[in-house]
Amino acid sequence: MQREPGSEGRRITGPSDLHLHSIRSDGTESPAEVMSAAHRHGVRTAALTDHDTTAGWAEAADAATSLGMTFLPGMEMSARDEWRSVHVLAYLFDPDDADLRAETERIRLDRVGRAERIVRNIGRDYPLTWDDVLSHTGSGATVGRPHIADALVARGLARTRSEAFDGILHPREGYYEGHYAPDPRRSVSLIVAAGGVPIIAHPSSAGRSRMMSRELLEELIALGLAGFELDHRENTESGTKVLRRIVATHDLIVTGSSDYHGVGKPNLPGENTTADDMVARIIARGTGSAPVFP
Ligand code: AMP
Ligand code: FE
Ligand code: FE
Ligand code: ZN
């Protein structure tokens, strides 16, 4: 996915949805199916942002462009600020950057051991095995609790992914285990060094209680954080208000996206979109890989 000469001058056609998941992580559809779903919902520029992997890029780019859509390569990188789970969207980075690859491989590998530990914990009280989970995980996919949720649903221990998350998978039930994730400062630096554009996903999401501190956000901006995903169904209004002031102070990029996971979540492609000028700013800033035009 080399930058083609002249691609900088191409105009972006919205609507743009820059946060979509496939079976390469915890979505329920193939990368090509995700692109057709986006197209069906009117999206014309789309990014695939699987958790900690770029494995779906080639398939998604082919599908998107054959549907007449523009494709932006992306990823949602797992990070952690103390106990707080932080997701960093990364666009247009070099997928072969050695340091970034090593870090995402470390996260993906640790996610496997962690999922096995969660399943072992659950297996003490419920009939659930690691094989159940494997049969709901795409080969080579980044494993997460959604795959365990699917296995719980198949076993009749929950009706939907969401019910599993509110029940057995909820930390209060005592089966939860964490996985390795880098500090957000490290994520942002690695993405920037790989020529990418880092944007904090759902920065004020309600479930993850309390945002990162203002001090940390300022530090991340100094390290090259490009912006915030402000239009996302999980963001709280109060948090977004605070973030809008930071955006204005630093002239940051603002995005809006669906966080589509196929049938795994109610989120639908195009339910939030990113303005054309913001997509253009992301493209102007990303130097590690290029958008793929139809
Ligand atoms: P993990 O990273 O393995 O801890 O799992 C977190 C992932 O689960 C997130 O990326 C979400 O996509 C997904 N998730 C979180 N809550 C829910 C929910 N209530 N229903 C469906 N998926 C969820
Ligand atoms: Fe997810
Ligand atoms: Fe996320
Ligand atoms: Zn996501």
The predicted pLDDT at position 11 comes to: 82
Q: What pLDDT was estimated at residue 13?
A: 85
Mean pLDDT of 147-162: 98
Computed on alpha carbons and rounded to an integer, the radius of gyration of the chain in Å comes to 18
Q: What are phi and psi of 82, to 5 degrees?
A: 50, -115
116: three-class secondary structure by DSSP: helix
What is the identity of the amino acid at 36?
S
DSSP state of 141: P
Asked whether the predicted pLDDT for residue 63 surpasses 50, the reply is yes
The runs of H, that is alpha helices, within 194-236 are 214-223
Domain 115-173 class?
mainly alpha
pLDDT score of 157 more than 50: yes
> What is the H or E stretch that residue 15 is in?
none
Ligand 3 center–CA 213 separation, angstroms: 18
Q: What is the pLDDT of residues 32-57, one digit of tens each?
A: 999 999 999 999 999 999 999 999 99
Statement: residue 3 has pLDDT above 60: no
pLDDT of 17 > 90? The answer is yes
pLDDT of residue 229: 98
pLDDT digits (tens, 9 = 90+) for 70-117: 999 999 999 999 999 999 999 999 999 999 999 999 999 999 999 999
pLDDT at 12: 86
Residue ranges around ligand 1 (CB below 6 Å): 26, 144-146, 161-162, 165, 261, 264-265
Amino acid at 65: T
Closest residue by Cα to atom 11, ligand 1, is 146
User: Considering the chain, what percentage of its residues have pLDDT values greater than 70?
Assistant: 96
Q: Where are the alpha helices (DSSP H) in 124-144?
A: 130-134
185 alpha carbon to ligand 1 midpoint, in Å? 23
pLDDT score of 6: 47
Residues with CB under 5 A from ligand 4 (ion): 76, 259
Bridge partners (DSSP) of residue 88 are: 77, 200
The answer to whether residues 221 and 250 touch, using CB atoms and an 8 Å cutoff, is yes
What tens digit of pLDDT does each residue of 216-251 get?
A: 999 999 999 999 999 999 999 999 999 999 999 999
* Ligand 2 center–CA 74 separation, angstroms: 14
